[in-house]
Amino acid sequence: MKVAYFILNPFDFDSRARLEVETIKSMGHRVEVVATTGGELNNYLGCPIHRVSQSAWPSRKIRFIQYNLKASSIGIGLKADVYHAVDLDVLFAANRGAGKNGGKLVYESRELYTELQALEGRRTVKALWRGLERRLIGKADKIITINNSIAVELMKRYAVRRPAIIRNVAPSAKRIQPVDLRLKLKIPENHRIIIYQGVLRDGQGLAYLLGLMPMLNDVTLVILGDGPSGSPLRALSFRLGIGDRVRFMGKVSPDALLNHTVSADVGALLMEDVALNNRLALPQKLFQYLSAGVPQIVSSMPEIAGFVQKEKTGVVVSLGDPEKDAAIISEFLADKARYGDARNNCVRAARENNWEIESLVLTRIYRELEEN
């Protein structure tokens, strides 16, 4: 089969997208990616990448319109058998391509898109997105999402069949070549390293984490990634007098990410409860930390905290009491037995929660599409 894979980002640094394309291609299907400009790859594993040009720094609305108009045309021209839409913001283009060519439609709801933080307080815009989702979700031959909470919400809202769940797990750690962060970033040997990896934006608890740093002795924070909050966070670190204990490394290639993560002592995932999508999230960085054998400091969002508490791979903080949260982190790092158990639990849990296992769901979905 020929598969057109639509995504509204440059693709290059999207770890899940790369894993999905690799899995679909490994089944013998031909995959062509329709992404945005901003990436350097012309193809991925031999799969061509078509890049949709957009105006400089467009708004979310303009990005959506520009992408979908141009991507629709590309998709129709690809004459694919399957049109795979990664999130609601590309579903229009994928559906149009599938409709014109008699192809199958896959809707992958990575987010509860109509409840994104960016849409909070924007009732009209939110209603338009929900209307679009209501109109198109029923046309999908297969629906995928990332956890049970979002699956239940989609079923309740749109009376659709239960979506298949493919969690945002990471691949098993293979052939890791550790990057010594202490040596590379001149971090004192006696410092414990907290790492954060991902987009720097509101809702990730990063300002709160910086606020904890003055209360965490002999700790350095390493931040991998960039985004709109990058400059404000740098400024905040200096205002708090912790600029010498915070390292901003920028983006790291997905292929090299775990090489950096493995040198950390704990990984931070402090998702804030500012929107329903945040509350129900289960981000891939949790499983990337897990794969690297790095215990996690997480906020009390149900999916995230539920996993960490069940697997005993880290600690949960409230994001509401800085002194108490700093004490929880300090005590965890100082308790060698408890910390050691968490590291061992990460190794065990990573064997049970990885892409090699999770991808079997995607393989089954595409096999059913091929057979039907």
| 272, 133: one domain | no
In a domain, 175, yes or no: no
Question: What's the pLDDT score for residue 216?
Answer: 97
Question: What's the pLDDT score for residue 332?
Answer: 98
| 126, 197: one domain | no
- pLDDT of residue 208 exceeding 80, the answer is yes
C-beta of residue 236 within 8 angstroms of C-beta of residue 210? yes
Tens-place pLDDT, residues 59-76: 767 778 889 999 999 999
Question: What's the pLDDT score for residue 174?
Answer: 81
Provide the β-strand partners of residue 262.
Answer: none
In a domain, 174, yes or no: no
Contacts for 17-23: CB closer than 8 Å, 24+ residues apart: 17/86, 18/44, 18/254, 19/171, 19/355, 19/359, 20/84, 20/362, 21/45, 21/47, 23/355, 23/359, 23/362, 23/363
Q: How many domains does the chain have?
A: 2
| 214, 87: one domain | no
| 37, 162: one domain | yes
Sign of CA dihedral 121, 122, 123, 127: negative
pLDDT band with cut points at 50, 70 and 90 for residue 4: very high
State how far the Cα of 368 lies from the Cα of 52, in Å rounded to an integer.
30
User: What region, left, alpha or beta, does residue 7 occupy, with left being phi > 0 and alpha being psi -120 to 50 degrees?
Assistant: beta
| 133, 230: one domain | no
**Concatenated DSSP letters for 154-185?**
HHHHH-PPPPEE---PPPP--S-----HHHHT
Question: What's the pLDDT score for residue 123?
Answer: 93
pLDDT band with cut points at 50, 70 and 90 for residue 185: very high
Sign of CA dihedral 321, 322, 326, 329: positive
Question: What's the pLDDT score for residue 75?
Answer: 97
Higher pLDDT, 7 or 59: 7
Question: What's the pLDDT score for residue 53?
Answer: 86
- pLDDT of residue 291 exceeding 70, the answer is yes
Tens-place pLDDT, residues 237-259: 999 999 999 999 999 988 899 99
- pLDDT of residue 56 exceeding 80, the answer is no
Domain span including residue 210: 181-352
In sequence order, the 6+-apart residues with CB closer than 8 A to the CB of 324 are 317, 318
pTM, two decimal places: 0.93
Question: What's the pLDDT score for residue 29?
Answer: 98
C-beta of residue 277 within 8 angstroms of C-beta of residue 115? yes
| 348, 359: one domain | no
Question: Identity (one letter) of the amino acid at 19?
Answer: L
Residue 129 exposure: Cα atoms within 13 Å on the Cβ side: 21
| 200, 150: one domain | no
How far are the Cα atoms of 6, 91, 132, 197, 339 from residue 10, in angstroms, in the given order?
11, 17, 24, 18, 38
Question: What's the pLDDT score for residue 10?
Answer: 95
Angle at which helices 284-291 and 15-26 cross, to 10°: 80
Tens-place pLDDT, residues 117-138: 989 999 999 999 999 999 999 9
**Concatenated DSSP letters for 318-351?**
-SS-HHHHHHHHHHHHH-HHHHHHHHHHHHHHHH
State how far the Cα of 4 lies from the Cα of 98, in Å rounded to an integer.
9
| 28, 62: one domain | yes
| 11, 143: one domain | yes
| 73, 193: one domain | no
Average pLDDT of the residues of the chain = 95
Q: Give me 367's structure tokens.
A: 């096999």
In a domain, 176, yes or no: no
Of the listed ranges 85-89, 230-234, 254-258, the least confidently predicted one is: 254-258
In a domain, 324, yes or no: yes
Q: Dump strand ranges (E) for 53-148.
A: 82-86, 104-109, 142-145
Query: What CATH number does the domain containing 213 carry?
Result: 3.40.50.2000
